[in-house]
Amino acid sequence: MTSTIWTEKYRPQTFDDVVGQRDCVHKLRAFVAAKNIPHLLFTGPPGVGKTTLALVVARTLFGEGWRSSFLELNASDERGIDVIRHKVKDFARTRAIGNAPFKIIYLDECDALTREAQQALRRTMENYTTTTRFILSANYSSKIIDPIQSRCAMFRFRPISKDEFKPIVEKISREEGLRIDEKALDALYEAGAGDCRKIENVLQSCSAITKDITEETVFSMASIAHPKEIRTVLELARDGDFIDARKQLLHVMTRYGMSGTDVIKQMQSETMNLDMGGRAKMELIKACGEAEFRLSEGSDPFVQLEAFLATAGLIGNKKETA
């Protein structure tokens, strides 16, 4: 195995290499073919191809010298108004080199920009539209001010589906000499939850240990519990065996080094697989939401998870006495 990070090594270089996001690829290909693109706003969860497509647009539009006409900034690192006033404005005010019709400034995670910086960015987008196009990337479009949204063509990215991620894993396993069984594929997708970057990172971590990737290897390297173990905790709590459920929960958390938020998210997912009525599942999901909120506010993780198990036991007892 080389020392190259696989997310960079296997990053698509052309529109044909991009997996998923078919609608976005089709529209962007048309913009590039016309050699004229509007300001763009890419929104969607992490690891679904926003940065990759921005780089593909630049490579396709500018050719070999694309780096001289492309500026990439991560707004979560440089989020103040000075970045917009200096770095962005200095790059935007000069014309592109060669036959390029304009330059491109790519602002990643621009939902982390302060409102003052976004207001300054709005004016910069207006003033330098003849020489520069902006591609903005955000996880949450609601955090981008309306004046910027109205100046951009919106592209909404969705998580990579299971059918779309399989060819990526098959290509990597073929080139790296890995053997991955079907259960390991399912575990990879569950660990990544549609985030292709996370899937590739977990797979690379697994390959450092063994070339035969199994379900257990994936769950171990992804630091998430096996769904069966989480289901066992929930079933013990549902059946009123609170002490054993608590012990099993502590075992899972210490074995995998999981945070309270990680556990509650897996519990929410596994709740739908429990042998319970629809109303009982609804009450459990509601309790999951309450626990997750309290965890996000800084409450003690184990106390809140114990409270959730107690709620599951009360719901199960209500079902028996009904």
Higher pLDDT, 114 or 310: 310
Distance between terminal CA atoms of the chain? 59
Say if residues 40 and 135 touch (Cβ distance below 8 Å).
Answer: yes
Average pLDDT over residues 224-246: 90
pLDDT at 12 over 60: yes
Please report the pLDDT score of residue 247 as a whole number.
93
> How would you list the strands of the sheet with 40-43, edge to edge?
70-74, 103-108, 132-138, 40-43, 153-156
pLDDT tens column, 244-301: 999 999 998 888 888 888 899 999 988 988 888 888 899 999 999 999 999 988 888 9
Residues with Cβ within 8 Å of 99's Cβ and at least 6 positions away in sequence, in order, are none
Q: What is the pLDDT of residue 246?
A: 92
pLDDT reported for residue 1:
42
- CA atoms in the 13 A half-sphere facing the CB of 298: 0
**CATH of 162-222 among 3.40.50.720, 2.40.70.10, 1.10.8.60, 3.40.50.2300:** 1.10.8.60
DSSP for 254-311 reads: HHHT--HHHHHHHHHHHHTTSS--HHHHHHHHHHHHHHHHHHHTT--HHHHHHHHHHH
Domain 227-321: top CATH class: mainly alpha
Q: Which fold has domain 21-156?
A: Rossmann fold (3.40.50)
- What is the model's pLDDT at position 83? 66
Residue-range domain boundaries for the chain: 21-156, 162-222, 227-321
Judged by DSSP in three states, 94 sits in coil
More confident residue, 316 or 3: 316
Note the pLDDT of residue 77.
60
pLDDT given at position 322:
46
pLDDT digits (tens, 9 = 90+) for 153-175: 999 998 888 888 888 888 899 98
Alpha helix segments (H runs only) across the chain: 6-9, 22-33, 50-62, 81-83, 89-92, 115-127, 146-150, 162-176, 182-192, 196-207, 215-222, 227-238, 242-256, 260-271, 278-296, 301-321
Q: What is the pLDDT of residues 134-146, one digit of tens each?
A: 999 999 888 999 9
Digit-coded pLDDT (tens) for 79-119: 556 666 677 777 777 777 767 788 998 988 888 888 888 88
Cα-to-chain-centroid distance, residue 264: 18
- The reply to whether 162-222 and 227-321 are identical in fold is no
Enumerate residues 6+ apart whose C-beta is below 8 A from 308: 264, 267, 287, 288, 291
Q: How far is 42 from 316, CA to CA, in rounded Å?
A: 44
Q: What phi and psi values does residue 193 have, to the nearest 5 degrees?
A: 50, 45
| pLDDT digit string, tens, across residues 22-79 | 889 999 999 999 888 899 999 998 888 999 999 999 999 888 888 888 888 876 565 5
